[in-house]
Structure 1
């Protein structure tokens, strides 16, 4: 997806723009540098914002926000500030998911609007296991209960060297469809999709390897790829999630001129060799930001993520920041 266009700020960005201008230069730290308190805070959000692994899409009536658990939790917002819980994408999980998770829980949704439909890719697994699958559903509205499940897209087993969770759809600059995914094990992969079905393209069986962190525990997951000005940018979450205020999650990025790599960070380190330029990390009460997605909106590209709020007993909370670009690399503000 191509980024750019208007830089018009919504009202919560205007309220923090003075702070953002003051800290942006400090936030653009050298590649590989540790997080600084100079990172800007998240934009203002209110209402029901207790989420993991958020994915947001703009609709004719506002925004829909999707997140992990409970059949893919769904929230709506008219203004990208106040969010209301409106139900579950799947009031009853598809029957096939119980082969991968005895509770029928669904994780890490990725939602986008393509060809007149909303496309929902989602994960099924259990914590610490790579007996996993990625499923697909489509809807004409994106609303809870409107989704038609299309079944399995890709799977992994306990004998695989990868983990089929954390899906993310990319429609590249040439209109080709790709699905990136992966968590721990040997890292992040990509497969080619058929745009007519959203499933794997029969003529390309390659599983492209995009990123890996060689030291145990190989902590890289949650890929999201976006296109801008000749480069594909691969955002990932490094380190450990889901530990409240003990979480060490942080968001990193690398880029490539091809959707299937090779990806390098700002210092030229391949992401396959553990590289990744830090975009956002723990600062102040914002602990362990990650599980990110990117949304192009009218005022620019948005980084949408969860973090653990140290000011609210470590509650998982929605974070949203605009993305700025300096020297061809992203930074939040």
Structure 2
């Protein structure tokens, strides 16, 4: 019996594959990865200052730090515009658009802005300021962690953190919100409602809404209970604009969410994720995590990625 229990514990501890290889500069926080259309070069964008930029020939590296997108920060009038968060980059008709959030920890005084570039390189970015998605203590949401997707021919932006969860708003174009009332896509009714960092993608007739659930940082000064640290979860919908459910059929607006990746082995608190159709590895989920062998502070965060496989229509870390 003891041997069986020991083997079971080992199996559970290794339920997820270790992250794929990373060489060069592997620090990341809320990473967003995109491949440049012209030559396939990978660009990685991360929270901090005017948004950190790194590049590589492969998602595995070697990654090289290039500098920041907006050296002088943003001119948005809300939050801390010299320390921008949670970049999300997409490509439309020859131009790359980078959404970012300006806020301070624990505050609903937040706004989402956008910058554009035709090359993704440092020094090429033009800031356009606010897009019209802003929050305060009077709104049910927090306007951070933006994520763009086109559903049919209509562009949408997902955003939100804590409070009443993750929302979606229709966009007029890449620079401007439609001004319509945001729709709630996901809500965690328990505790402090700790979900954020939405990233949506489409596959096989479904739209998959991934997000991060649990405590994101302060793992040393305010350690969470085991299992309450960051993890990556998913719900799906046929429309992409509502009715998201998890693998058990629980509504995403009623605390639903199926775990895709959680702490294991030396990996602690994976989250701030995105999904990329990599030209070499296929569909991958990428994220930041704290490496127990390096440290648990934000300055120690590492860039991780794993290939995704599919079981009964749901993504599984390979």
- Kindly tell me the number of residue pairs found equivalent between the two proteins: 295
* CA deviation after TM superposition for structure 1 residue 96, in Å: 2.3
Q: Report the equivalent of 1:305.
A: 287
- For the Cα contact (< 8 Å) 1:62–1:80, is it kept in 2? no
Taking the aligned partners of 1:198 and 1:268, their CA distance within structure 2 comes to: 35
Q: TM-score, normalised by structure 1?
A: 0.85
SS at 1:272 equivalent: helix
How far did 1:64 drift? 0.4
Shift >6 Å, 4+ stretches: none
Give distance in 1, aligned partners of 2:156 and 2:76. 24
Residue 193 (str. 1) matches residue 171 (str. 2): yes
Residue of structure 2 in register with 1:320 after alignment: 305
In the TM superposition, 1:1-333 aligns within 5 A as 36-59=13-36, 60-81=39-60, 82-97=62-77, 99-101=78-80, 104-153=82-131, 154-172=133-151, 174-195=152-173, 197-201=174-178, 205-244=180-219, 246=223, 248-298=229-279, 299-314=281-296, 315-333=300-318
Matched position secondary structure for 1:331: strand
Q: Residue deviations 1:261-312, cap 9 Å, x none?
A: 1100000000100010000000000000000011122131121100000011
CA RMSD in angstroms, aligned pairs only: 1.7
CA distance in 1, matches of 2:172, 2:121: 25
Change (3 A) 1:159 1:206: closer
Gap runs ≥5 in structure 2: 1-7
Q: Secondary structure at the match of 1:275?
A: coil
Alignment partners' CA distance in 2, 1:244 and 1:68? 18
Deviation at 1:61, TM superposition (A): 4.7
Distance 1:223 1:234 in 2: 7
Q: Which runs of 5+ in 1 are unaligned?
A: 1-25, 30-34
1:47 Cα deviation from its structure 2 partner: 1.3
Q: Displacement of 1:326 after TM fit?
A: 1.4
Instruction: Tell whether the 8 Å contact from 2:76 to 2:113 is kept in structure 1 after alignment.
Output: no
RCO higher in structure (CA 8 A, sep ≥6): 1
In 1, the alpha carbon distance for the partners of 2:27 and 2:106 equals 23
TM-score (norm 2): 0.89
Separation of aligned partners in 2, 1:194 and 1:36: 46
- Give the deviation of 1:79 after TM superposition: 2.1
SS at match of 1:221: strand
For residue 244 of structure 1, report the CA deviation from its aligned partner.
3.9
